[in-house]
Amino acid sequence: EAQLLESGGGLVQPGGSLRLSCAASGFPFSIYGMNWVRQAPGKGLEWVSGIDGSATTTYHADSVKGRLTISRDNSKNTLYLQMNTLRLEDTAVYYCVRGVGGFDVWGQGTKVTVSS
């Protein structure tokens, strides 16, 4: 069974940094594109970043370009989100999601709180 397990969330001050990880298991990780999707408290879903299976191409929402960077290590079956220059509005639960188009497998999410 395909599973995704996020980690790395926590409390950080505005302007700070954090790196999220997503450990994948139960499927051939390197052939799947992956995404990060976030959900602010009480709000809807917002796509953040995507990456193809070979890490050749990445995509980011305009709201995070230049601050959040998606990457992956296929030898470790792990997806990452490097978060720099964090803002209050980045506070959210961050989900790791499989598939560039499918979005068929979701992790349980990791909570990021940006607050002074």
The site for other proteins (CB under 8 A) is made up of: 35, 44-47, 50, 59-62, 95, 100-104, 106-109
Q: How far is the CB of 6 from other proteins (least distance, A)?
A: 10
Q: How far is the CB of 48 from other proteins (least distance, A)?
A: 9
Measured from the CB atom, the residue of 13 and 79 that comes closer to other proteins is 79
Measured from the CB atom, the residue of 14 and 102 that comes closer to other proteins is 102
Measured from the CB atom, the residue of 14 and 99 that comes closer to other proteins is 99
Q: How far is the CB of 13 from other proteins (least distance, A)?
A: 27
Measured from the CB atom, the residue of 2 and 31 that comes closer to other proteins is 2
Local structure of residue 44 (DSSP, 8 states): -
CA separation for the pair 103, 83 (Å, rounded): 22
Q: How far is the CB of 75 from other proteins (least distance, A)?
A: 26
For 53, phi then psi, to 5°, come to -65, -35
CA separation for the pair 93, 75 (Å, rounded): 26
What b/e string do you get for 44-73 counting C-beta neighbours within 10 Å, with b at 16 or more? eeeebbbbebebeeeebeeebeeebbbebe
